[in-house]
């Protein structure tokens, strides 16, 4: 049987899991995120839910211990593969990681380096917006500020003050 669009190494991981019900240990490092995502995508394609859940446990385990800056290739895969077409659990997981577990300074560096697909930032903004609207009672919504709140201020030397 030939599956032209399936990487042979990833397919080998599927066969290994079918026989042993184990995910290879070397995948449980930050460098294993992309292969695990590819593996998860293959499991989804063949509707092997038990394997998808086992892989997701591994991905979550790795994401909890990794820094935001090491996510570039993983985010790129999640957003450019079949997994990234439309809504997916992996997309939601990556957005949650960026929103709730990555320091703003790290996000800024990731944005400036261009190491993250541009679509990610829209999803992050939507997640923050949804969180805001879902969690805060209407009486606490902040109103738009007056004109003075958005005025450009300069110090005596002419430098802009934020």
Which pair of structure tokens corresponds to residue 115? 């190491």
Q: What is the pLDDT of residues 99-153, one digit of tens each?
A: 888 888 988 998 898 878 889 999 999 988 877 666 655 555 556 566 666 777 7
55 within some domain: yes
**13 lies in the same domain as 35:** yes
**72 lies in the same domain as 62:** no
**82 lies in the same domain as 121:** yes
Domain that holds residue 129: 68-136
**72 lies in the same domain as 132:** yes
Q: Please tell me the predicted confidence (pLDDT) of residue 88.
A: 83
**73 lies in the same domain as 52:** no
Q: What is the pLDDT of residues 81-101, one digit of tens each?
A: 876 577 788 999 999 999 888
Could you tell me how many residues make up the chain?
Answer: 162
**33 lies in the same domain as 74:** no
Strands (E), 15-95: none
Of 66, 84, 116, the residue that ends a domain is: 66
DSSP for residue 46? T
Q: Please tell me the predicted confidence (pLDDT) of residue 141.
A: 55
**111 lies in the same domain as 56:** no
At a CB cut-off of 8 Å and minimum separation 6, what does 78 contact?
Answer: 37, 84, 88, 90, 91, 94
104 within some domain: yes
**109 lies in the same domain as 62:** no
157 within some domain: no
Which is nearest to 28 in space by CA: 76, 62, 79? 62
Total domains present in the chain: 2
């Amino acid at each position: 049987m030939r599956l032209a669009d399936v990487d042979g190494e990833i397919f080998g991981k599927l066969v290994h899991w079918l026989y042993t019900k184990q995910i290879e240990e070397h995948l449980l490092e930050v460098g294993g995120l992309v292969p695990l995502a590819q593996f998860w995508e293959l499991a989804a394609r063949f509707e092997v839910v038990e394997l998808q859940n086992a892989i997701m446990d591994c991905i979550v385990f790795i994401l909890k211990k990794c820094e935001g800056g090491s996510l570039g290739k993983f985010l790129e895969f999640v957003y450019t593969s079949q997994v990234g077409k439309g809504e997916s659990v992996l997309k939601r997981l990556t957005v949650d990681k960026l929103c709730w577990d990555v320091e703003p300074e790290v996000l800024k560096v990731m944005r400036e380096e261009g190491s993250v697909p541009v679509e990610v930032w829209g999803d992050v903004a939507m997640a923050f917006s949804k969180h805001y609207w879902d969690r805060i009672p209407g009486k606490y919504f902040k109103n738009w500020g007056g004109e003075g709140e958005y005025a450009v201020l300069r110090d005596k030397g002419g430098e802009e003050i934020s």
